[in-house]
């Protein structure tokens, strides 16, 4: 018998919030497990029709397991949501920094989403994937928006070659583009201007980017000077404005406030003779990492943002701009889990029990970096009785390498498979080779089929870039 686990069998808590359990189309960002999760006859967790234990046997561990259905579902909810609630043109672009790879780009591109890239490497990856998928140079240019607060001249030249929209972050970048345009007399450079709106939201200090004390974007008091400069330089085709107020946000009001602020700035830009047909409100919608988390659904967020922009445009008596949103974590975070094998155990009487897994901070640096919390199940014993509280430790030579503190689990044994949920965003993309551990493999699962999308690194990969000076060799 196969059962869909709407409740955590180890804690009795709901995988989906109470207001989402009975919906026909649950929002992926509100679910702890991917939407295709099942418990099979072996009492094993299945994702995308694939048995967790079988996947680990075939591909090794740690292993990132990305559910294609959940990812596509999130894409369609964003895309179709804006079509439903926003009366103007809209475009959803994926914030690639969450996880950039050929396969991730490929899946998302086929859902008609665009891409937000923040480095030459992300731009290169996205362009290569889209080229292999058969997109034309013009289509690729239209799909990509290039972010970054300190783009190099080489990266700006790379962006100009692709023809993508450049989201300008500061004066140096704006002036550099004018200089580069002198060698492109017949080409206007599509840009958006990034602004710091001064809007606070309740999230981790390191992922708040909308308050005034931020490294990102022009300050509001510079706005009119920026507009005047752009109006003087016809090589700059300013398409509109951008702002982003942070990530892992559970509140709708800050994004509604942002819409009003940005529309007012659009109106000011038009007074300088700029058309400004696009408005990019960033992303930031949070996901459910733990049973206590309660983010708005994708549909709720899209509806709130769309209505706020339309109302602000009506108040300012300006036409509706093309509305652009940049979700990252809420697209891919909940679509992936990481499977580990359990290893050693250390029991400290009346204090703590540690169980160690074969990965940790090198494949998921978020707990040690942001004190991020996650949820866990014992993937090969899904219905086993819970009987202990343990701290899941990584294998790295670092005291802070703790994956989850005080996890409620059944008794574990070496070789059992722990499954950490919600690892699609900022896990592989922030992974490292700390302690010279090779980075894990990743598979894309769907309808009982698993496709390798990232090979497991080897020891040879670890030393590929190393150079041993000849003078050291006897």
Known catalytic residues are: 397
- Distance of alpha carbon 210 from the chain centroid: 17
* 344 vs 384: CA distance, rounded Å: 20
- Closest to 62 (Cα-Cα) out of 306, 428, 389: 428
CB 382 within 8 A of CB 2: no
Q: How far is CA 307 from the centre of its chain?
A: 24
Q: Which of 457, 453, 455, 456 has its CA nearest to residue 71? A: 453
Q: How many CB atoms lie within 10 A of CB 375?
A: 24
Which residue(s) pair with 324 in the sheet? Answer: 91, 280
């Amino acid at each position: 018998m196969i059962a869909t686990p709407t409740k955590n069998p180890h804690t009795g808590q709901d995988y989906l919030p109470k207001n989402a359990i009975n919906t026909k189309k649950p929002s992926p960002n509100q679910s702890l497990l991917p939407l295709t999760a099942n418990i099979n006859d072996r009492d094993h967790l299945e994702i995308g029709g694939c048995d967790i234990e079988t996947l680990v046997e075939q591909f090794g561990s740690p292993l990132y397991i990305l559910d294609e259905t959940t990812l596509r579902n999130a894409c369609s909810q964003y895309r179709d949501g804006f079509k439903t609630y926003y009366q103007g043109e809209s475009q959803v672009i994926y914030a690639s920094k969450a996880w950039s790879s050929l396969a991730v780009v490929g899946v998302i591109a086929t859902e008609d989403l665009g891409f937000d890239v923040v480095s030459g490497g992300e731009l290169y990856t996205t362009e290569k994937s889209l080229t292999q998928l058969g997109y034309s140079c013009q289509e690729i240019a239209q799909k990509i928006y290039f972010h970054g607060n300190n783009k190099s001249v080489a990266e700006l030249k790379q962006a100009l070659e692709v023809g993508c929209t450049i989201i300008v972050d500061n004066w140096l970048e704006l002036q550099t583009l004018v200089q580069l345009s002198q060698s492109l007399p017949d080409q206007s450079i599509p840009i958006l201007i990034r602004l710091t709106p001064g809007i606070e939201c309740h999230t981790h200090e390191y992922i708040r980017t909308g308050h005034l004390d931020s490294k990102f974007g022009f300050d509001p008091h510079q706005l009119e000077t920026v507009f005047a400069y752009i109006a003087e330089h016809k090589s700059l085709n300013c398409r509109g404005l951008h702002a982003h107020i942070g990530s892992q946000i559970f509140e709708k009001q800050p994004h509604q406030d942002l819409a009003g602020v940005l529309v007012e700035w659009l109106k000011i830009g038009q007074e300088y003779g700029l058309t400004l047909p696009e408005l990019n409100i960033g992303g930031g919608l949070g996901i459910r990492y733990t049973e206590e988390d309660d983010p708005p659904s994708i549909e709720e967020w899209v509806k709130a943002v769309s209505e706020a922009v339309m109302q602000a445009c009506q108040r300012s008596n300006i036409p509706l701009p093309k509305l652009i949103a940049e979700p990252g974590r809420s697209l891919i975070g909940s679509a992936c889990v990481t499977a580990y094998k359990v290893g050693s155990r250390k029991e400290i009487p009346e204090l703590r029990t540690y169980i160690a897994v074969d990965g940790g901070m090198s494949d998921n640096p978020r707990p040690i970096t942001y004190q991020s919390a996650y949820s866990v199940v014992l993937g090969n014993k899904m219905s086993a009785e819970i009987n202990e509280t343990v701290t899941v430790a990584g294998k790295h030579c670092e005291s802070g390498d703790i994956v989850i503190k005080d996890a409620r689990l059944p008794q574990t044994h070496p070789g059992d498979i722990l499954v950490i949920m919600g690892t699609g965003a900022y896990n592989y993309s922030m992974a490292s080779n700390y302690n010279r551990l090779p980075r894990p493999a990743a598979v894309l699962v769907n309808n009982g089929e698993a496709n390798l999308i990232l090979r497991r690194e080897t020891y040879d990969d670890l030393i590929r870039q190393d150079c041993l000076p000849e003078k050291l060799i006897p």
